[in-house]
Chain A
Amino acid sequence: MAAYHVVLVHFPIALWLASALLIFLRVVNDGPVGQAADRALPVFLVLGFVLGAVAWLIGTQVWDWPALSGTPMGRNHMLTATWSLAYFTLLMITRLMQGDALWHGMARWVMLVLSGVGVVLVGVTGTLGGHLVGNYTQVGEVLRLLGWEIYTTYYVPNITVALLIGLGLVMAVLGVLARRPASN
């Protein structure tokens, strides 16, 4: 499965990077170029999601679960791949649900930042995947300088796990409250 995974991941990587570029164009340009980018964006995001999900699934079959979950590099690759998929799924859903309203006010900048974070995550995921198949880059050195030794598993302590989940729930509640009609 490794070879299929390596071939497949190029599609979501390309589609997600292109999506980020389209988001950038739409954020900085309200004219025809930005409008065109916005019209193309859903196609890229949906295709990226579908092929990303397939690549993710096939990636889980490259090694047996004990091996994939038993090595720091395998764990890290799967973690960043999962988060990458989650990020761009969020972008896809948001674009499909909100349409043009997305590009007004603060939301447009949020989209820009989200897509930027997503690009970084996809880049890290690809880098780790390269390490797994023996193609090393200096990106690992950059991450090391930033505080993460990539040959150790990225995990957070229980208190941070609780905090992240709590923040997620708080944000969801905030969102629900935002949608609730104002009472008289």
Chain B
Amino acid sequence: MKRMVLPIASVLFVGGLLTSWVSHGTGIVVDDPERNISIPDTHTVPLQVQAAYNNTTMFMRYRWPAERPGIFHDVLVYEDGEWVRHGRGMPGSNPEGFHEDRVAMMLDDGSVPEFSRYGGYITIGAGLAGLTDEAPEEVTKYLPATRNSLGQWDDMAPEDVQARLRAAGYFLDLWHWRGGRSNALGYADDQNVGDHRAGDGGRGTYSTNWDGDLSQPRVMFNPEVAGYRALNWDDIMAGNISQDQVYALTPQASVPFDPDANWQNGDVIPRRMLRLPEGSRGDITTADGVGTWADGYWDVTLSRALDTGAPEDDKILEDLGMYDVAIAIHRNATGGRWHYVSLPQTLGLGREADIEAVRFTGRQPQWGDNWTDVTLFYPGQVTWPFLNSRAHAGAEYIDEGVPVAFRHTPEQLSNYGIEVEFMSEIKRQWLLTMLAGVVLIAGFGVALNRAVSSTKGA
């Protein structure tokens, strides 16, 4: 028996090490909708970008992979005499495939200095909707100086300060293309981020297709234009509805709802009515038609006047100007914070930059193959207050103004962001793992020493 102790202990020890290696990293990172946690299978997504401009207009072209085109945001489905809403926002992907695809680009001219270094992270304040510790009311992206103190989502700076910040350019322009709620009209949603995420002046491209008093849609498809009053649920689920047919309730394709039509179970009407935007909010159009999905990729080109005449809504662009952008996409029926984002990129109009906008003459750019590749990543729940707290080892670097890209890659940030979502659980498990390893080593040490001692004098 004594001679067998060391071989047995050795096998147990090696077995423990191998088991540790094989099973590490499992058991904690799981979806938890109750805490607003849903981790995507894919942590990074490649995005291609092109930029061009002429004397009057800026063009941005984006291309990214998407398994299916998210052209519906939410819908109303006729079920046994009632119209039932499908497609509410939720953590992660909507299992029925609703929630529109999007591409969004935040743009700054240097008036928000932290943005060039940390990109969208600076807009993730405490309490944002979708976070595990979201505020009791809906809080959207906001810039740090719009609050009196870091980490207090409701401690708003005084209104006169907000106004002066805005006049000084302390806001981010937000180009927000929506696969369901703006694209069919040939527009993107022109928004901005200041003390919250807001639409620019004017009105947006959509409203809600629901008459609460009558509990029915306000409009339906115009049969004379679309060939039908409603879409069919099975067709949508099978992915048979494409951009080549009428799928959105544009003004041309819709008529007032007829409650007496012979509605059948499975009839589907979009829950959003599209309308032409007005004012500053309608500054961004989809150039050269609409954004299109084909062969597993979205290809979206947006255009906007270099100078929109709305300097407190938009960042005015100039020839040879240098700007900062951060780009994000939503795909796979996701909304809210379940997007893929980029680190800040420089955008140079006729100047060398991460994304170099090429100057051209004429009305439409002739795109070549000069794509800029940008890696987008799932950011997890990393807030600006967290990054500036003692819990972030790099807080001192932020204090010194060291850019995020100097120390972190998108892949790294995605892993870190996910771990932040399970901070306490992983910390506990890490400590237990460390302890278990020490116990394993100590146990083997006892066996080894006792086994060797037993041979002395034998």
Contacts and interface: CB of A to CB of B under 8 A. Distances in A.
Contacts of B19: 156, 160, 163-164
Contacts of B442: 86, 90, 168, 172
A177 interface: yes
A123 to B, nearest CB: 16
B280 to A, nearest CB: 42
B134 interface: no
A172 B439 CA distance: 10
B379 to A, nearest CB: 14
Contacts of A110: 6, 10, 448
B394 to A, nearest CB: 8
Interface in A91-150: 93-94, 97-98, 101-102, 104-107, 110, 117, 132, 134, 147-149
Contact of B407 (A98, A134, A152, A167): A134
Interface residues of A, number: 61
Interface string A55-71: 00000000110111111
B24 A148 contact: yes
A11 interface: no
Contacts of A176: 446, 450
A148 B24 CA distance: 8
B226 interface: no
A179 B7 CA distance: 15
A152 B25 contact: yes
Chain B CB count within 10 A is highest, among A93, A102, A156, for A156
A155 B447 contact: no
A175 B448 contact: yes
B432 A161 contact: yes
B443 A71 contact: no
B13 A167 contact: yes
B363 to A, nearest CB: 46
Interface in A31-75: 63-64, 66-72, 74-75
B419 interface: yes
Nearest to A149: B415
B441 interface: yes
B451 A157 contact: no
A79 interface: yes
A169 B27 contact: no
B456 A101 contact: yes
A151 interface: yes
B405 interface: no
Contact of A156 (B24, B418, B419): B24
A82 B437 CA distance: 9
Nearest to A102: B452
Interface in B213-242: none
Contact of A157 (B389, B429, B452): B429
A94 B452 contact: yes
Contact of A171 (B12, B20, B452): B12
Contacts of B450: 174-176, 178-179
A139 B146 CA distance: 44
B430 interface: yes
A35 to B, nearest CB: 18
Nearest to B442: A168
Contacts of A174: 5, 8-9, 447, 450
Contacts of A106: 6-7, 10
A170 interface: yes
A167 B16 contact: yes
Interface of A: 63-64, 66-72, 74-75, 78-79, 82-83, 86-87, 90, 93-94, 97-98, 101-102, 104-107, 110, 117, 132, 134, 147-149, 151-161, 163-165, 167-172, 174-179
19 contacts: A71-B392, A72-B419, A75-B426, A79-B434, A90-B444, A90-B448, A94-B449, A97-B449, A107-B452, A155-B25, A155-B429, A156-B436, A157-B429, A161-B433, A164-B439, A167-B443, A168-B16, A171-B12, A178-B2
Closest 7 CB pairs of A and B: A168-B443, A157-B27, A175-B450, A164-B436, A168-B439, A175-B447, A171-B443
